[in-house]
Amino acid sequence: MLQKRDYPILEFDCDSEAIIHPEYLQKKYGVLPYDTLVITFFKEVIDQLLNENKIEHCLTVHGENDLDVYVFKDANVYLLHGCVGCPACCGFLEDLIGLGIKKVMFCGGGGVLDSNMQVGELLVVEGSIRDEGFSYHYVEPSRIIYSEKETRDKICGYLNEKNLPYIEGLTWTTDAIYRETRDKIIARKAEGAKIVEMEQSGCIAVAQFRKIKYGAIIYAGDDVSQNVWADRGWHTRKSIRYNLVEICKDLVKSL
């Protein structure tokens, strides 16, 4: 039932049925034989893994934007190059859930809200401040959406076992990269956000709605906390990005 509100984005509909279902894709593509997936935003890592013969292309879901899926040769884990923003990234996630995915690890980078966070520092995503529109179609309005604690505990336990330093905390998910204003940055930092990015609240909402396991690790990238934006060369941290994909490949199997 649709709950009427002053603003459309807050009019949550608790009806779990929609006109279009991602399971419809099974009619054309069948069900995937494995149920584990890593979403990464590191295209150069995918290219490197292909060159090393560690992954292979296994499926293209055709549409206005084709969805290319790869699989690790040494593990029953799929790999997807994520798209920027909740509608694109989470739409692809929905497609793959419709094809049988039940466990997902996400790895990407984001802008730090505190310059004391060094490039490459890992953030296990506790939850996200919902400053976007996508998640409100899946989960009732709230200021923060939290990831599943059991899944976070498994991620943190793995990182502790491997002696990999990390912090656990919130992100700020926004739709508008060019509207990260000074006052918004100050406000989101005061609320506890460590990193700004564009997908987490949507991914967490989809995971809750579809009842799948979902975890995310974001590494500290550029710095938006100062008066002048600092790139900090975050796109060039090749070893960090490659290793993070490998970490998520190992982690997703245990979720």
Asked whether residue 13 is assigned to any structural domain, the reply reads no
CA distances to 39, 114, 139, 218 from 110, rounded to whole Å, are 15, 12, 24, 7
Asked whether residue 118 is assigned to any structural domain, the reply reads yes
**Residue 170's CATH number:** 3.40.50.1580
Residue 144 is predicted with a pLDDT of 98
Sequence-separated (6 or more) residues with CB below 8 Å from residue 88: 65
**Number of domains observed in the structure of the chain:** 1
Yes or no: say if 72 and 54 are a contact pair by the CB < 8 Å rule. Answer: yes
- Rounded distance between C-alpha atoms, residue 236 and residue 239, angstroms: 9
Asked whether residue 61 is assigned to any structural domain, the reply reads yes
Exposed, middle or buried, 59 (CB in 10 Å: 0-12/13-18/19+)?
Answer: middle
Asked whether residue 164 is assigned to any structural domain, the reply reads yes
Yes or no: say if 245 and 30 are a contact pair by the CB < 8 Å rule. Answer: no
Asked whether residue 10 is assigned to any structural domain, the reply reads no
Expressed as residue numbers, the domain containing 73 is: 21-252
Yes or no: say if 25 and 61 are a contact pair by the CB < 8 Å rule. Answer: yes
Asked whether residue 150 is assigned to any structural domain, the reply reads yes
Tell me the H-state helices in 64-123: 86-98
pLDDT in tens, the chain (255 residues): 778 878 898 889 988 999 999 999 999 999 999 999 999 999 999 999 999 999 999 999 999 999 999 999 999 999 999 999 999 999 999 999 999 999 999 999 999 998 888 888 999 999 999 999 999 999 999 999 999 999 999 999 999 999 999 999 999 999 999 999 999 999 999 999 999 999 999 999 999 999 999 999 999 977 888 887 776 675 666 788 999 999 999 999 999
Tell me the H-state helices in 107-237: 149-161, 182-190, 200-210
Asked whether residue 5 is assigned to any structural domain, the reply reads no
Asked whether residue 9 is assigned to any structural domain, the reply reads no
pTM of the model: 0.95
Residue 232 is predicted with a pLDDT of 60
